[in-house]
């Protein structure tokens, strides 16, 4: 290596690092963890919380420095847990606690809060300062998450994530000094901003200031079991975790470092994983020819009907946001029946792909997802599929394999049950999906393939 290496010791351990390495990174290299609050991998160091201070002796200067921003220098002696450091960190915690709503009992982040953890670790058990506190009402105008200013510790992780990673830059700091306030500029409500509800600010909040509505209402950190999986909504294939409580998914969480490993969008974060109880398809269905209403039937009858109609001028169409295995399955069905196969991204593409076919087998993998209010509301700004599919009524026969009833099943002659995103194992864009829940019924496409 042509670069001149720098030598220092951290808690007595010798470390060799290239120039411009921060003390925090150097410590990590030798397995020493320095506690942080405002630091977030992937963001430029902010040095604002002052919690990661370490004591530096030797070199050109001595004293307390923030490990996240201080560069290593030759001959430095760094102490990460000296008495001076511990006293300083305690003081920072005392200050933060003195300006924080300490009602942990009702806080969604209870049990998963960095401030709580560090206060326990450093023995800061009560608020030692009486005095003024920041006070502003909770902004609950975003449909998916709330902002509680009384809990904010001004680490600015949310603001910097919104600026540096998602590039939206809608969060800002207003006022000055003790009155500094995080939020939408000009004291506007969240609803009136052009926030896309991507929720990455909520992910990076170390305390409960930004918390999802689901977290607030449905669960606490210790009640949920995470399952690592991949979001198949788009080609970004975000690494995510599904949090399950009591046989239900209650939250989707980004896995790893925001931006670097995963950056879920609003739809992925808040609606795509939802499997709605109402309208869930749990058994094969056929349309009653007299009433035109779908009713449950036997597998034999449903599969026979589909197999019969797939023979002539048919098409097998599958939505793009599903596993490689499922696409292979639909391809094999098309191959076995000797008809064409296609994929679609939304209902608009579906209508184009369906053009000219007399019989259709459609796999609508996204059917269970989202609020599907169909209003394409600018309110939540999360994508809704609003294309009118009633034109498919003209088609001779339509079979839909789907996890849930939608406007598409309204035109179907046969409906086959399918697992939802949270119930699938498989591969997507080279990444793995793991089922967090078991599906309520057999996989309709697999059953069909077996029969063919």
Partner 1 sequence: MAKTMDVLLKGAGTFDGTDVAAYKAQGGYQALERVLGMSDQAVLDELLKAELRGRGGAAYPAGRKWSQMYKIPITPKYIVCNADEGEPGTFKDRELLRDMPLKVIEGMTIAGRVLHSARGFIYIRGEYRAIQRVFQKAIDNAVKAGYLGKNICGVEGFDYTITIISGAGAYVCGENSALLNSIEGRAGRPRIKPPHLAEVGLYKKPTLVNNVESYADLTVIYTQGADAFLELGVPGSGGTKLVCLSGNVKNRGVYEVGLGKVTLRELIFDPAFGGGIPDGKELSFYHLGGQSGPIGFPEQLDTVYDHDSLWDAGLSVGSGAVVVADGDVCIVDYCRKVMEFFVHESCGKCTPCRIGTMRVLELLTDLCEGRGRPGDTDRLERAITQISALSACGLGQSANKAIRSCLAHRREDFLAHEQGKCPAGSCAMKGGEGA
Least separation in angstroms between CB 176 and partner 1: 5
Residues 248-257, buried b or exposed e (16+ Cβ, 10 A)?
ebbbbbbbeb
Among 13, 64, 384, 435, binds partner 1 (CB under 8 A): 64
For partner 1, the closer of residues 88 and 234 by Cβ is 88
Least separation in angstroms between CB 204 and partner 1: 18
Residue 88 is a binding residue for partner 1 (CB under 8 A): yes
Judged by CB under 8 A, the stretch of 113-121, 123-131, 239-247, 388-396 that binds partner 1 is: 123-131
Whether 58 contacts 77, CB under 8 Å: yes
Judged by CB under 8 A, the stretch of 129-137, 304-312, 345-353, 363-371 that binds partner 1 is: 129-137
Least separation in angstroms between CB 98 and partner 1: 6
Residue 430 is a binding residue for partner 1 (CB under 8 A): no
Among 16, 74, 87, 358, binds partner 1 (CB under 8 A): 87
Residue 123 is a binding residue for partner 1 (CB under 8 A): no
Least separation in angstroms between CB 20 and partner 1: 8
- Euclidean distance between CA atoms 209 and 442, whole angstroms: 42
| Residues of span 172-191 touching partner 1 by CB under 8 A | 173, 175-180
Element (H or E) spanning 93, and its range?
Answer: helix 83-98
Residue 24 is a binding residue for partner 1 (CB under 8 A): no
For partner 1, the closer of residues 118 and 363 by Cβ is 118
Q: For residue 46, what are the contacts with CB-CB under 8 A and spacing of at least 6?
A: 38, 39, 68, 69, 155, 156, 160
Least separation in angstroms between CB 76 and partner 1: 14
Residue 63 is a binding residue for partner 1 (CB under 8 A): yes
Residue 186 main-chain phi, psi, to 5 deg: 60, 30
Q: For residue 208, what are the contacts with CB-CB under 8 A and spacing of at least 6?
A: 107, 108, 109, 110, 113, 148, 151
Whether 296 contacts 288, CB under 8 Å: no
Among 80, 99, 318, 409, binds partner 1 (CB under 8 A): 99
Whether 17 contacts 29, CB under 8 Å: yes
Place of tokens 């709330």: 146
Q: What is the DSSP letter of 70?
A: P
Residue 26 is a binding residue for partner 1 (CB under 8 A): no
Residue 125 is a binding residue for partner 1 (CB under 8 A): no
Site size toward partner 1, by CB under 8 A = 34
Residue 450 is a binding residue for partner 1 (CB under 8 A): no
Residues 187-218, buried b or exposed e (16+ Cβ, 10 A)?
eeebeebebbbbbbbbbbbbbbbbbbbbbbeb
Token reading at 376 = 């394409």
Per CB under 8 A, residues contacting partner 1 are 45-51, 53, 63-64, 66, 69, 71, 87-88, 91-92, 95-96, 98-99, 129-132, 153-154, 173, 175-180
């Amino acid at each position: 290596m042509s670069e001149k290496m720098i030598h220092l010791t951290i808690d007595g351990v010798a470390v060799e690092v290239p120039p411009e390495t921060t003390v925090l990174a150097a410590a990590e290299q030798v397995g020493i963890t320095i506690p942080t609050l405002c630091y977030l991998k992937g963001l430029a160091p902010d040095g604002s919380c002052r919690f990661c201070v370490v004591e530096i002796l030797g070199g050109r200067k001595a004293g307390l420095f923030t490990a996240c921003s201080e560069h290593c220098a030759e001959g430095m002696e760094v102490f990460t847990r000296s008495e001076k450091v511990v006293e300083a960190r305690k003081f920072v915690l005392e200050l933060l606690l003195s300006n924080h709503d300490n009602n942990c009992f009702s806080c969604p982040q209870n049990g998963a809060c960095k401030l709580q953890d560090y206060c326990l670790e450093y023995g800061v058990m009560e608020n030692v300062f009486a005095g003024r506190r920041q006070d502003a009402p909770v902004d609950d105008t975003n449909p998916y998450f709330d902002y509680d200013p009384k809990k904010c510790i001004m680490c600015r992780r949310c603001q910097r994530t919104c600026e540096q990673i998602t590039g939206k830059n809608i969060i800002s700091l207003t006022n000055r000094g003790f009155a500094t306030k995080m939020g939408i500029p000009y004291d506007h409500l969240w609803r009136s901003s052009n926030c896309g509800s991507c929720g990455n600010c909520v992910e990076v909040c170390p305390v409960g200031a930004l918390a999802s509505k689901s977290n607030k209402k449905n669960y606490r950190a210790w009640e949920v079991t995470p399952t690592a999986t991949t979001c198949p909504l788009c080609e970004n294939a975000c690494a995510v975790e599904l949090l399950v409580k009591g046989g239900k998914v209650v939250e989707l969480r980004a896995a790893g470092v925001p931006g670097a490993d995963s950056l879920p969008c609003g739809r992925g974060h808040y609606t795509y994983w939802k499997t709605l109880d109402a309208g869930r398809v749990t058994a094969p269905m056929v349309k009653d020819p007299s009433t035109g209403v779908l009713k449950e039937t036997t597998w034999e009858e449903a599969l026979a009907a589909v197999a019969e109609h797939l023979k002539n001028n048919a098409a097998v169409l599958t939505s793009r946001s599903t596993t490689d295995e499922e696409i292979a399955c639909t391809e094999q069905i098309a191959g076995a029946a000797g008809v064409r196969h296609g994929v679609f991204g939304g209902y608009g593409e579906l209508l184009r792909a369906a053009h000219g076919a007399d019989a259709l087998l459609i796999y609508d993998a996204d059917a269970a997802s989202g609020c599907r209010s169909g209003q394409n509301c600018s309110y939540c700004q999360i994508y809704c599929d609003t294309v009118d599919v009633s034109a498919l009524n003209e088609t001779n026969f339509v079979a839909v394999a789907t996890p849930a009833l939608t406007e598409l099943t309204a035109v179907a002659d046969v409906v086959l049950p399918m697992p939802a995103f949270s119930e699938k194992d498989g591969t997507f864009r080279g990444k793995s999906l793991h089922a967090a829940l078991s599906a309520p019924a057999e996989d309709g496409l697999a059953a069909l393939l077996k029969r063919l």
